Structures are given as structure tokens and as C-alpha cells.
Structure 1
Amino acid sequence: MPEVMFAGPDGRLEGRYHHAKQANAPVALVLHPHPLHGGTMNNRIVHALYQRFQAMGFSTLRFNFRGVGRSQGRYDGGIGEISDAAAALDFLQAVNPNASSLWVAGYSFGSYVGMQLLMRRPEMSGFISISPPASHYDFGFLAPCPCNGLMLHGADDELVPESSVRKLVEKLNTQKGISIDYRVMPAAGHIFTPPQADQVADAAEDHINVTLNRKRISLAAD
């Protein structure tokens, strides 16, 4: 789990990067919760997703947004953090120029940043969005949503009502060619317990495997 420092738009950014052994392996970028509310790349969900992507054979990066840990700069209301994520993606693509697919995963605020990144980078293959803050941020920019993905939310989320995420998913699923895999975790709040973190990673792995298998079947049929 080597430490990395890479250039961001407002100074150097601190991360942890795992490089897959397989040539042309898929890559994943994992984004952490809100910097002003204790979010870091060492968050339980971020770490669980990072480890799961690694176990699945992905080259994987998690990093601290500006002003967090050893990352330089100051919190920028989400705008700068989107630029940080783009710089992290640039780093990943530079190290993995022939990656077979590219995924972004985010938790809470990180899921909002990840969805913003999707709109800016058409090469993205899919996304994992955990506890998207649909009641706090306007996700109307997903028009159209550029690709399919997983949205997972806690049934008892005390910060973001499940109904707000369900409404977002229903709206996205009306778009042509878009099918969001929406899963609600029973008895889960916004902050997941350690056993629930493993369940989140299980759901992500299941979704990715289904997506990649569907792609392989489609390519074989052509």
C-alpha cells in the first residue's frame, strides 16, 4: 500500500496507491466523505472499497482532498475538490495508460464529487455511489447520466432521507439507456458499522462483476 504524492491544482495531494500485477488491469478511484466533517481517505467505507477493488485485481487509488492530512491547499466548497479528483484520475491514467476499464467510487460527499467527475470524463466505465447526499446537493447535472452504476443507501440514514435518493434513482432511470442498480441496506444509517462496511464492499463487488460479465458476453457476441 505505497504512499504517493501527486500534483493537484492547489498543491500536492497525498494518496495510497495499489498497482495491479495484471497487464491492462481495470482501475478505480475512491473518494472520501466531507473534509469539514472528519472525512479522510482512511474512512472505514473508503478503506473497505479500496481493499475490495485491490482484491478484485484493480489498480486502485484513494487520496485526501486538499487541506486533509498531508494534502496541500484549503477546502474549496466542492469546486476545488472536483478538480482534485480530476487530478487524481490524471495520475491513475498516466500510470495505467492501457487500463481495460475505469471506475469511480465515492462515499457521501465523495459520491457527489464522483458523479461530477463522471460528467467531465466520458471515458469512465461505471460508478459506485454510497450514501449520495441527494437532499443536500442538486444532482440535476446528471442530464444525461453518462453511464450506469450502483447507488447504495442506508434505510435508516439520519442525514439523507432514503426517499430523496430513491427519487434521484427513479429520475435517472427514466433516461434512455440508463439503469441504476439501487440497493437499500436495512438498519443502516449514514455512518456504517464495521460489519456493514463489509456488506457495502460485497455489494460493490457484486455490481462490478455483473457489469463486467455482461460486457464480456456482449463482446463475445459481436
Structure 2
Amino acid sequence: MPEVMFAGPDGRLEGRYHHSSESNAPLALVLHPHPMHGGTMNNRITYNMYRTFEKLGFSVMRFNFRGVGRSQGRYDGGFGEISDAAAALDWMQMVNPNSGGLWIAGYSFGAFVGMQLLMRRPEISGWVSVAPPANHYDFGFLAPCPCGGLLLHGDSDEMVPEPAVRKLVDKLNTQKNVTVDYRVYAGADHVFATHAEHVSEAVEDYVGKIVARKAMALAAD
């Protein structure tokens, strides 16, 4: 997983990037938890999702938001971090001009940034959100949400109560052509301390099935 440095809106950003051997492979960007609470691209859940997308044949990147690790700049309350993620997508799309689809995946704060990016980039075709902070941020901007996705949460999350996330899911599922696959894990806390493997398994299951269906449809044409 080679290290990459690319231009961000507030200085250079540090990432890790895996390039698929397939020229038209789909792309995935994985976003880490809150920079002010120790979140980095090496976070376990972030890393596990990165490796799962790699296993599924994606070209995939995880990177440090501004001010984290070797990334330049300073924390910007979420606004600048959305721009950082957009710059990461720009870099991947430049390197992969023939990519077959684009996914955004985020954990905690990264899930909030990812969903913001989803509303700004119509080429995003799928998403994964793990423990989105639905009680800390207003997710009302997801109206209308452009596509369905996978949402994972723990019923013992001490930072984001599960009912707050279920309320968000129920609202999204009322929207036309949007279906959220919501999976709640009994006993899982916010960091998925003893449930990290379930995140990887869910991403592999959900994303893998969609990628397989798309491949079958293309083969049939």
C-alpha cells in the first residue's frame, strides 16, 4: 500500500493508496474518525474497510485529514475536511480515468464527511457509513439522498445512541429509490472494540453483491 502525497485545499495531504490491476476497477475512498479525538487513517475500522475494498478489487485510498499525521493545515470543523475528501477523490479520478464506479466509506466523523461529499459528487454510486454521529450533526442535508447504501451501528454505542441513527435510517428509507441496508450489532460500542470483523464482513457482503450484480449486467449486454 504505497504512500501518496497529493495537493489539498490547505496544503499537501498524506494518504495510502492501493491501485487495482484492473484498468476499469471501481474506486473507494475511506474516511477516518474525528481528528480532535485521535482519529487517523490508521484507525482500525478505517484500515479494515480499506483492506476489504482492496480485497474486492477496488482501487482504494485512505488519507489523513488536514492537520493529522503528515497532512498539512489545521482542523476546520468539518467544512475544510469535506474539501480534503473532495481533493482525494479528484486525485483518484485523475489516476483512474476509466474507473467503473465510485464508493465513499466513512467511520464516525468520517461518515458525516462522506455523506456530505455524497451530496456534492453525483458520480458517487454507493456508500458505507459506520457509526454516523447522528446526534452530533444534522443529517437533514440528505434530502433527497442520491442513492442507497450500507449503514452499520452498535446497540451499545455510548457516544451515538442507536435510536438517533435508526431515526435517520427511517427517514432515508422513505425517500424514493433509496434503500438503506441497516445492520445493528448487539453489544457493539462506538469503536466496535470486539466487533471489528463484523464491519469487514458486512462491507464485503454488501459491496461484493452489488459489484457482482453490476458485472453480470455488463456481461449480459
Q: TM-score, normalised on structure 1? A: 0.96
User: 2: CA distance between counterparts of 1:214 and 1:170?
Assistant: 26
What CA distance in whole angstroms lies between the structure 1 residues aligned with 2:92 and 2:152? 25
User: So what's the TM-score if we normalise by structure 2?
Assistant: 0.97
Return the offset for 1:108: 0.1
Which residue in the other structure is 2:214 paired with? 215
CA RMSD, Structure 1 to Structure 2 (Å): 1.2
Task: Determine if the alignment matches structure 1 residue 202 to structure 2 residue 201.
Answer: yes
Deviation at 1:217, TM superposition (A): 5.0
CA distance in 2, matches of 1:92, 1:206: 24
* Structure 1: gaps (5+ residues): none
Query: In the TM superposition, what is the alpha-carbon distance from 1:198 to its structure 2 partner?
Result: 1.6
Identity rate, percent: 69
Q: Which whole-Å CA distance do the structure 2 matches of 1:131 and 1:31 have between them?
A: 12
| Runs of 5+ unmatched residues, structure 2 | none
* Superposed counterparts of 1:49-68, under 5 Å: 49-68=49-68
Find the residue that maps to 1:119 and give its secondary structure. helix
**Which residue number in structure 1 is paired with residue 124 of structure 2?**
124
Cα distance in structure 2, aligned partners of 1:84 and 1:162: 29
| Aligned counterparts, 1:148-167, within 5 A | 148-167=148-167
**Counterparts of 1:216 and 1:14 in 2: how far apart (Å)?**
32
| Amino acid aligned to 2:110 | G
Give the distance between the partners of 2:67 and 2:24, measured in 1 at CA: 33
Residues 122-162 of structure 1: CA deviation (Å, up to 9, x unaligned):
00010010000001000000000011100000110000000
Runs of 4+ in 1 over 3 A off after TM superposition: 213-222
Q: Which residue of 1 aligns with 2:24?
A: 24
- Give the conservation status (yes or no) of the 8 Å contact 2:9–2:84: yes
CA apart distance, 1:212: 2.3
Superposed displacement of residue 214, structure 1: 3.5
Give the stretch that moved more between structures: 94-103 or 204-213.
Answer: 204-213
**Residues in 2 aligned to 1:111 and 1:120: alpha-carbon distance in whole angstroms:** 14
How many positions carry a matched residue from both structures? 221
Structure-2 residue corresponding to 1:145? 145
Amino acid at match of 2:10: D
Cα shift readout 1:85-106 (whole Å, capped 9, x = no counterpart): 0000001100111111110100
1:199 partner letter: H
The Cα of 1:55 is off from its aligned counterpart by: 1.2
